[in-house]
Chain A
Amino acid sequence: AQSVTQLGSHVSVSEGALVLLRCNYSSSVPPYLFWYVQYPNQGLQLLLKYTSAATLVKGINGFEAEFKKSETSFHLTKPSAHMSDAAEYFCAVRGPGYSSASKIIFGSGTRLSIRP
């Protein structure tokens, strides 16, 4: 079974500062991992995904995430925060295979605020 934990329900950074959003997962099989972003009054949009091809994954809007198996982590980073990055971010995990038991599990979300 898979699970995902996002550390910190709210993160606040200054514009131009490093963004670090933490995600730890639990999976009994090699996982597929995702980060989604939700802007106010909108649905979720895929930021990036890890599918075992490369441990450092680059996504849209300058975000990237690194898969660390030894730490069971998939933290999201961005070198320099922009005001437009203010949103809620969700980490998600899925096991491989075509099975009714292999479904995407979402974390509880981290709200990112950007200070001018």
Chain B
Amino acid sequence: EAQVTQNPRYLITVTGKKLTVTCSQNMNHEYMSWYRQDPGLGLRQIYYSMNVEVTDKGDVPEGYKVSRKEKRNFPLILESPSPNQTSLYFCASSLSQSRGRYEQYFGPGTRLTVT
């Protein structure tokens, strides 16, 4: 089944404790992206990757890191989480960012709480 998977789905942690949220897609998609969703703000892009070893900042990159060593995986790293990073996080992928293949496929989300 074609899908985007995220782990964990739920995470409660404390301020300053490094964490990683994994994202994997099995559709051979070139483009992957991380979003956070907060009430009344819609989805805001954190980082994105056009392809392996190519990443770039989105609208709200502060406090986050990413890497794209393999095409299928795009982990999100919080080196020192803070309470303002409490949010619902989504990973998404799309086939390509050329030739109109822009529609994105989303993972189920990771609800992160930082205390």
Residues in B neighbouring A36, C-beta threshold 8 A: 106
> Chain B: interface residue count, which band?
20 to 34
Pick out which of these stretches binds chain A: B41-49, B61-69, B75-83: B41-49
Query: Which DSSP category, helix, strand, loop or mixed, fits chain A's interface?
Result: loop
Residues in A neighbouring B106, C-beta threshold 8 A: 36, 43-45
Q: Is there contact, CB below 8 Å, between A103 and B58?
A: yes
7 A-B contacts (beta carbon < 8 Å): A42-B108, A43-B107, A46-B103, A90-B42, A90-B43, A103-B58, A106-B43
Closest Cβ–Cβ distance, residue B16 to chain A (whole Å) = 29
Q: Is there contact, CB below 8 Å, between A49 and B103?
A: yes
Of B41, B43, B45, B48, the most chain A CB neighbours within 10 A belong to B43
In the complex with contacts A32-B100, A43-B107, A51-B100, A109-B42 CB distance below 8 A: yes
Closest Cβ–Cβ distance, residue B103 to chain A (whole Å) = 5
Residues in A neighbouring B95, C-beta threshold 8 A: none
A108 within 8 A of B: yes
Which residue of B is nearest A48, CB measured? B103
Instruction: Give 4 closest A-B pairs by Cβ, nearest first.
Output: A43-B106, A108-B42, A98-B98, A106-B43
Residues in A neighbouring B103, C-beta threshold 8 A: 34, 46, 49
Which residue of A is nearest B40, CB measured? A108
A82 within 8 A of B: no
Tell me the bound Cα distance from A9 to B90 in angstroms: 21
Q: Is there contact, CB below 8 Å, between B58 and A44?
A: no
